[in-house]
Amino acid sequence: MTDRPHQDSANSMWGGRFAAGPDAIMEAINASIGFDRRLYAQDIRGSRAHAAMLAATGIISDSDAMAIREGLLTVLSEIEGGDFPFRTDLEDIHMNVEARLKELVGEPAGRLHTGRSRNDQVATDFRLWVRDQYDAAIDGLTALIRAALSQAEAGADWVMPGFTHLQTAQPVTWGHHMMAYVEMFGRDRSRFQDARRRMNESPLGAAALAGTGYPIDRHATAQALGFDAPMANSLDAVSDRDFALEFLSASSICAVHLSRLAEELVIWSSAQFRFVSMSDKWSTGSSIMPQKRNPDAAELIRAKIGRILGATVALFTVMKGLPLAYSKDMQEDKEQVFDAADSLMLALAAMSGMLFDLTANRDRMEAAASSGFSTATDLADWLVRELGLPFRDAHHVTGSLVALAERKGCDLPDLTLADLRSVHAGIDDRVFGVLGVHNSVASRQSYGGTAPDQVRAQITRWKERLA
Ligand code: ARG
């Protein structure tokens, strides 16, 4: 980038009424080219559509539009080729592109900005960029859901401890646990889909704020840019950033889900749990402790919520209380969204890869599920069902049996019939049918429950949804 500490002459784009250029610090705070150059493709696409519309409506000549549209393609290839002379004194991507166009095609370039303002231009460019991110998030989530589905399918009947308070609660299946994340990521995906439908309207042609006296065709530019319609209110069109706030909000919720799964992977891959082994591709070693296999990717995914939520809070704070229509504050929208989008896409891709390559340790999970009195609820339910005890009494009897097993240093299925009868004389040997973890999960047949049949039904439903 060519940095000019101080301009002696006024800005060539808007400096008509200025005698001198801006102070160097003014230029530094004002310029966005350092980051909004990332919108170059959208800027050029928007300008090409605008120029074509100006010619079609007779506002400029066909030959001028042709020169502009061809020149813009040259600018595009210069930027993509890495030899574009970005200039800080030209503030932003819009004026950098237009100034270069002027150098390339001369006078016709000056007609491009007819019936348009940088306010609707930046709103259009940014909307196009964010729209691509909605699509990337939807694709990334689809891949992630497929990865979780593949785990769920492999282990639909693998038993693991289900937790509340991170204490062993009741046995569940690995498939059921994976499908819980499929539901979360499915909601995330539909949030992005919803918001994308809502945001797909064109601000272009709102001009500075009030619309324009030129006979422009906003429907034509909206269509050329893949929007469903032009935005209905020009003041709203230039001042709305809901599309970015919704993207950040949906990203934040998605990042919460990612961080919860990441946290579980960190716990499960520890030497104390060993529920899962991460492949070499997704682990790192320690330079001092040779035994270490660190789940760095999971930890970093867990941390990304910090940046994404930070960006969300930042942009909400920028937008809050801004009077209509455009204010320069809104230039601060881009870096936050860029960073959040980059973080989200990376986290989604890393989580998909990690999950696809993950090995769940079936035996280890089953052994853990079989300890910790995880079938105590099944025992209490049996006492209610078979002996007619009120649930509260059954809960009490079961509590005494847990205490007995604890004293004996064994688990519930290891108690003898005599042990069981010493607490409640009505118990008979049919009870052993419910004390095992496989019986326990198989019995949870309620809709959405952990029974393998239920889990498989949900897997089928999701595969149909994604097909
Ligand atoms: N760089 C500006 C932004 O990102 C473009 C719009 C400038 N508009 C203006 N009236 N100064 O918001």
What residues make up the domain containing 63? 24-111
Q: Are strands 159-164 and 167-173 parallel, antiparallel or unpaired?
A: antiparallel
173 phi, psi to nearest 5 deg:
-105, 155
Q: List C-alpha distances in Å: 213 to 53, 106, 205, 208, 221.
A: 15, 25, 11, 12, 17
Is there a single domain that holds both residue 211 and residue 283? yes
Mean pLDDT of the chain: 95
Is there a single domain that holds both residue 59 and residue 87? yes
Is there a single domain that holds both residue 194 and residue 325? yes
Residue located via tokens 């409506």 = 57
Q: Please give the average per-residue pLDDT across 80-100, as a whole number.
A: 96
Is there a single domain that holds both residue 243 and residue 313? yes
Sort residue 61 into left (φ over 0), alpha (ψ -120 to 50) or beta.
beta
Predicted confidence band at 5 (pLDDT cuts at 50, 70, 90)?
A: very low
- 312 C-beta closer than 6 A to ligand 1: no
The two structure tokens encoding residue 57: 């409506």
Residue 12 has pLDDT above 90, yes or no: no
Distance CA(440)–CA(377), nearest Å, equals: 9
Nearest to 67 by CA among 104, 42, 100, 98: 104
Q: Are 33 and 87 in contact (CB under 8 A)?
A: yes
Q: Please give the average per-residue pLDDT across 274-279, as a whole number.
A: 94
- Using the atom order of ligand 1, give the atom closest to the CA of residue 93: 1
Residue 6 has pLDDT above 60, yes or no: no
Is there a single domain that holds both residue 149 and residue 84? no
- 318 C-beta closer than 6 A to ligand 1: no
Distance CA(53)–CA(243), nearest Å, equals: 25
Question: How many domains does the chain contain in total?
Answer: 3
Q: Please give the average per-residue pLDDT across 33-62, as a whole number.
A: 98
CATH number, position 77: 1.10.275.10
Nearest to 122 by CA among 247, 242, 238, 200: 238
Distance CA(77)–CA(84), nearest Å, equals: 9
Predicted confidence band at 8 (pLDDT cuts at 50, 70, 90)?
A: low
- 220 C-beta closer than 6 A to ligand 1: no
pLDDT value at residue 7: 53
Q: What is the CA radius of gyration of the chain?
A: 31
The two structure tokens encoding residue 301: 């995914």
* Domain boundary residue, one of 349, 367, 385: 367
- 221 C-beta closer than 6 A to ligand 1: no
Active site residue 12: no
Predicted confidence band at 282 (pLDDT cuts at 50, 70, 90)?
A: confident
Of 116, 125, 328, 335, the one to substitute when testing ligand 1's pocket (max ligand atoms within 8 A of C-beta) is 328
Residue located via tokens 């999970």 = 365
pLDDT digits (tens, 9 = 90+) for 162-171: 999 999 999 9
Residue located via tokens 């932003």 = 92
CATH number, position 150: 1.20.200.10
Sort residue 356 into left (φ over 0), alpha (ψ -120 to 50) or beta.
alpha
State the pTM of this model: 0.93
Nearest CA to ligand 1 atom 3: 331
Q: Please give the average per-residue pLDDT across 433-459, as a whole number.
A: 95
Q: Could you please report the per-residue DSSP string of 56-91?
A: HTTSS-HHHHHHHHHHHHHHHHHHHTT----BGGG-
CATH number, position 385: 1.10.40.30
3-state SS assignment for residue 359: strand
Predicted confidence band at 298 (pLDDT cuts at 50, 70, 90)?
A: very high
Residue type, position 235, single letter: L
CA atoms within 13 A on the CB side of 44: 21
Distance CA(34)–CA(447), nearest Å, equals: 54
Residue 10 has pLDDT above 90, yes or no: no
Nearest to 355 by CA among 412, 306, 297: 297
Is there a single domain that holds both residue 419 and residue 323? no
- Using the atom order of ligand 1, give the atom closest to the CA of residue 126: 4
pLDDT digits (tens, 9 = 90+) for 319-358: 999 999 999 999 999 999 999 999 999 999 999 999 999 9
CA 373 to ligand 1 center in whole angstroms: 64
Active site residue 277: no
Is there a single domain that holds both residue 243 and residue 357? yes
Buried b (16+ CB within 10 A) or exposed e, 76-107: bebbeeeebebbbbbbbbbbbbbbbbbebbee
168 phi, psi to nearest 5 deg:
-55, 125
Is there a single domain that holds both residue 170 and residue 190? yes
| Least trusted range by pLDDT, from 112-126, 236-250, 284-298, 428-442 | 284-298
Catalytic residue among 286, 327, 371, 400: 286
In a domain, 14, yes or no: no
Is there a single domain that holds both residue 341 and residue 382? no
Buried b (16+ CB within 10 A) or exposed e, 125-142: bbbbbbbebbebbbebbb
